[in-house]
Amino acid sequence: MNPSPHILLVDDDVELAGMLRDYLIQEGFAATAVHDGEAGVAEALSGHYAIVVLDVMMPRISGIEALRRIRAASSVPVLMLTAKGDDMDRIVGLELGADDYVPKPCLPRELAARLRAILRRTQQSGETTGGAPLVIGALNVLPEQRRVEWAGAPVDLTSTEFNLLEILARNAGRPVSKSDLSELALGRPLARFDRSIDVHLSSIRHKLGCLADGRSCIQTVYRQGYQLIRE
């Protein structure tokens, strides 16, 4: 029997963090809560957690700075808790490598669903979609190992970035809609005005190399979505 995924909650609201922790435990997770950014970074980098839930607004160091420090040393999935309607924190968090976000106040059931979606794609990608490498020009996607190489060099992607690139690689040469990308990579419907997919793909473009003509291998197809170019 597989052990329960261990969730780290980092939120200075002790009552809320305790409530979320208790709910997640009832839902079959293991969960630990800490209440400031410094402690959150130390715990996140301990290697003991399957995913981190990180509040943006915290004392000592903010969630954004905590995320920056985590991403400098770890690819552990991170789900941000952001103030409702605060698009700037949301976009900055995604640009720094957050896998997804949930606006506060959030329903515990929604948080659990988002966590399961991220963990399912992280842990079962190779099992559910097949493990054969996907080679498109200089790009090599290794689903079973959740690794990506460009021209033989490793590319450091977050869990969600890997999910998106794998989907595009499996559909190379044809566009994939943003709604399909959101459902398949994030495990949730695309919300109106949601820029998460755009921000994640912008980050992937920066991390990958260019084609011989200087273009990105990921192209925007007007009114259809995004497409990985076959060379």
Nearest to 135 by CA among 123, 120, 122, 147: 147
Looking at residue 58, what DSSP letter applies?
-
pLDDT digit string, tens, across residues 89-145: 889 999 999 999 999 888 999 999 999 988 888 775 545 455 789 999 999 999 988
| pLDDT at residue number 124 | 58
Whole-angstrom distance, CA of residue 54 vs CA of residue 179: 25
- What pLDDT is recorded for position 122? 74
Delimit the CATH 1.10.10.10 region(s) of the chain.
Answer: 130-228
Q: What is the pLDDT of residue 101?
A: 92
In 3D, which of 99, 107, 115 has the Cα closest to residue 30?
115
- pLDDT digit string (tens) for 7-66? 999 999 999 999 999 999 999 999 999 999 999 999 999 999 999 999 999 988 999 999
Strand-pairing partners, residue 141, are 134, 148
DSSP 114-170: HHHHHHHHHHHHHHHH----EEETTEEEETTTTEEEETTEEE---HHHHHHHHHHHH
Other C-beta atoms closer than 10 Å to the C-beta of 198 total 14
Instruction: Give me 40's structure tokens.
Output: 């959150």
Residue range 6-122 in CATH 3.40.50.2300: yes
**Each residue of 153-204: pLDDT tens digit?**
999 999 999 999 999 999 999 999 999 999 999 888 988 888 999 999 999 9
**Per-residue pLDDT at 167:** 95
Residue type, 202: S
Task: Sort strands 153-155 and 147-150 into parallel, antiparallel or unpaired.
Answer: antiparallel
- pLDDT for 127 equals 52
> In the chain, which segments carry CATH 3.40.50.2300?
6-122
What architecture does CATH give domain 130-228? Orthogonal Bundle (1.10)
Half-sphere exposure of 138 (CA within 13 A, CB side): 14
Question: Which candidate, 184, 16, 29, 47, places its Cα nearest to that of 112?
Answer: 29
Stated pTM of the model: 0.86
User: Residue 2: which pLDDT band, with cuts at 50, 70 and 90?
Assistant: low
